[in-house]
Amino acid sequence: MSDEPRHKRFGDTMSDYIVQVANELPFDAVGMWQIVPGGRRGFGLEGDALTDYVRRCIGELLSRGAVPVIGGGPDGPHLWILQRQYGSKPEEITENIIREWLANGAQDEDPGGLWFSLPEDAWTPPS
């Protein structure tokens, strides 16, 4: 039996839950607005433990090939728009996103914020 925290509602270990979050990628993008409350409410995490959870989720998404994106808007020509400002390497992207999230008060995000999608679903603006 693992000592790892279990999701309050579903009973999954944190590691299993993080994998399930990333399993959504072939079907839809995954937003910070889903990740943060998943750790906060699903596992009762705050502070460093919540930051570690968010970091692990982002790492898993990036390991599956996801890229950071924002929505293109309901009337825009693109569903998702790549956000290059976070970097190009997974570790760099993760740390820059975590730094930004912490600087904004480590709050629950809203659906208008940062998401992660597979590259084939994202438009890459010209450099």
Average pLDDT over residues 75-100: 94
Q: What is the mean pLDDT of residues 66-84?
A: 88
Q: pLDDT (tens digit, 9 = 90+) per residue, 18-63?
A: 999 999 999 999 999 999 999 999 999 999 999 999 999 999 999 9
> For residues 31 and 114, is the Cβ–Cβ distance under 8 A?
yes
Q: What per-residue confidence (pLDDT) applies to 105? A: 96
Could you state, in order of their start, the residue ranges of all structural domains in the chain? 14-119
Nearest to 46 by CA among 107, 95, 91, 2: 107
Average pLDDT, the chain: 94
85 in Cβ contact with 33 (< 8 Å): no
- The answer to whether 65 touches 26, Cβ cutoff 8 Å, is no
Query: How do the residues of the chain divide into helix, strand and coil, expressed in percent and rounded to 5?
Result: 45, 15, 40
Mean pLDDT of 15-19: 97
Question: Looking at the predicted structure, is the pLDDT value of residue 1 above 90?
Answer: no
Check whether 74 has a pLDDT greater than 80: no
